[in-house]
Amino acid sequence: MTEPLTYAVHICRTRAELEAARGPWREFLADGSVDAGVFCDPEAVDQLVCFEGGDRVALAEAFRGGARVALLPFELKPIPLPLAIGLWQLAVVRPLTLRLFNFDFATREPAARMRLLAGALDALKGAVACDLVLVSNCVLENAARTAPAGFPRGAVIRGVQPTYMIDMPASFGEYVSGLSRTTRQNYRWKVGRMRRECGGTMILKRYGAPDAMDELYAHMMAVWERSWKGRLSAYAPADAAFLKRMARGGWVRSYVLFVGDTPVAYVQGYQYRARYVRERSGYDAAWQKYSPGGVLTWMIMEDLFSSDAPRVVDFDFGYNEYKKILGTREQVRGELWAPSSAKGSRVLVARRFCDGIYRAGKAAVGRLGVIEGLKRRMKKGARNAPGRNR
């Protein structure tokens, strides 16, 4: 008969208290049977939490028969949440939020993550006072927008999207042979076309050492500023200080594609416990015609097989067609929000109301063809942007 699960909660209000918890935490992660993501490592958590203004860490632990089977690190801090209808921002609220760093928390029972998470939230209810609980990148059993059974009443799922991964075979050739013939031809043609366009000066550079992070950050920002993301001031790369701290743990594996000395595309990524995560990426809009993002992705896949190959490549949250084409496995993910106070319940109700108005308006505009027209104009503007490098 399977032993029942029990839970314990520890609150770390200072860095010294977090340091005291590292021993058993590290011992648990050292077990080869434990599955965990990079943002569950105590060194990474130490970099993510500032412990200023009342910010603190809540560690929820699950035990079965006295043996630890899961460790879930949460951050407790006020998070600014916009109440907006599309780009029209009505207000910004700052509910005290208990946020799980990532759904890939450390556990010996990865198939039971949902049940372990629900039990941890129940244990935290009486130990931590907050307004909301947030689980980012939460893997769901289906695309339903309702919270799974066992979660707090009023919990909602937002931003449901498919996410794609690659279960890495033994070699790049074996991986490529599993893709469709059209995909293989398209990517090889794109790489060859861009190489010819830049006169053979196309270079891929990998970054991982702490003393290379300033250079990496400068190149990523140069590309980001010339990308559509930079024009919208969205999805900027992580700052150099954060990258250095992550690199000291040996986890940074990022790439920049150069044409001559000019960076034209980048991927900010991490590799931890044989799992590679592509977190952010961008490309120079002036090179859009030559698919620099696709070229970089193909070259990265070759490099991943050539040195310190991970077992899994995770394209991370957010849907793109190339992720579906190149992936070998799909998951449905979203943000799980659960209220823990009357204020938290009001915030979630207000956000659902705004989201409903936005979806109705977007559907109406879509029927008029306005969105597609704007997309065509943006792409045309990117192609005609000055500063394209040859």
CB of 317 closer than 8 Å to CB of 116: no
Neighbours of 154 (CB within 10 A): 14
- 327 against 38, higher pLDDT: 327
CATH number, span 169-310: 3.40.630.30
Distances (CA, A) of 316 to 156, 158, 161, 305, 373: 21, 16, 11, 19, 29
- Degrees (nearest 5) of the Cα angle 115, 51, 9? 30
Q: What is the pLDDT of residues 250-301, one digit of tens each?
A: 999 999 999 999 999 999 999 998 899 999 999 999 999 999 999 999 999 9
Given a cut of 90, is residue 364 above it in pLDDT? no
**What percent of the chain clears pLDDT 90, i.e. is strictly above it?**
54
Contacts of residue 340, Cβ cutoff 8 Å, sequence gap at least 6: 98, 125, 129, 130, 131, 132, 133, 152
Q: Identify the weakest region by mean pLDDT among 3-7, 25-29, 314-318.
A: 314-318
Query: Nearest-CA neighbor of 56 among 76, 73, 42, 79?
Result: 76
> Would you state the structure tokens that stand for residue 93, as one six-digit string?
């609220």
Q: Structure pTM?
A: 0.83
387: confidence class by pLDDT, cuts 50, 70, 90:
very low
Q: What is the pLDDT of residues 28-44, one digit of tens each?
A: 999 888 999 888 888 88
pLDDT of residue 390: 36
Distances (CA, A) of 218 to 179, 252, 346: 35, 16, 42
> Would you state the structure tokens that stand for residue 15, as one six-digit string?
């860095």
* CATH architecture of the region 5-162+333-363: 3-Layer(aba) Sandwich (3.40)
Where are the chain's structural domains?
5-162+333-363, 169-310
- Hey, is 89 helix, strand or coil? strand
Q: What is the pLDDT of residues 118-128, one digit of tens each?
A: 899 889 988 88
